[in-house]
Amino acid sequence: MTQLAMATTLRFFAGNTDVFKWQNFWVDKEVGGFSFHQFQTSDIYFNRTVDEGGLTLEMALTQQNLDYMEAAINEAFLIEIEIYEFNVDSGMPTDLAAGAMVARFIGEAVEMSCDLTTLSVTVGAGIDAVTEDIPGRKFTTSLVGRLPVL
């Protein structure tokens, strides 16, 4: 029977600038430019209009994590989440190239909540597949220039 392991990477970025990059598989190691950070992700959801419904990140409620996630919301960082699958029958992988990417999602932090121990951040789709809406914004000429006429 094949033994599989899953690793997730998070890349928070603004424009062409990576703000921070995390991975949750190799403890206390930097792999492919991603430093270790403890977090987990939910499944990626799709609805009937094929919009990406988003996913949830969960991590320990610490001041550092709270500061990171508040910055992600306030600065509207985009978040790229990639989930990799590794066959570990012959040993533990040493880098991301040893795995197969099974899911990829890009969105932005749209909601944050916490309890006494856990910080939960909802990452929503950056653009609605049906309308011109971006969470909390609309395409206007002041944002994107002259709009095309159909």
Find the domain containing 79 and state its range.
Answer: 4-144
- How far is CA 33 from each of CA 6, 10, 107, 109, rounded to the nearest angstrom? 18, 11, 20, 22
Question: Does 45 score more than 80 pLDDT?
Answer: no
CA atoms of 92 and 94, how far apart (whole Å): 7
- Does 150 map to a domain? no
Question: Does 48 score more than 90 pLDDT?
Answer: no
Q: Per-residue pLDDT tens for 31-41?
A: 999 999 999 98
pLDDT of residue 53: 60
- Does 72 map to a domain? yes
pLDDT of residue 61: 94
Mean pLDDT for all residues in the chain = 83
* CATH, residue 15: 2.30.110
- Does 78 map to a domain? yes
Number of compact structural domains in the chain: 1
Q: Which helix (H) or strand (E) holds 73?
A: helix 63-74
pTM: 0.77
Residues 41, 124: contact at Cβ < 8 Å? no
- Does 149 map to a domain? no
Q: Per-residue pLDDT tens for 6-28?
A: 999 999 999 899 999 999 999 99
Residues 106, 31: contact at Cβ < 8 Å? no
Instruction: Give the pLDDT mean for 76-91.
Output: 91
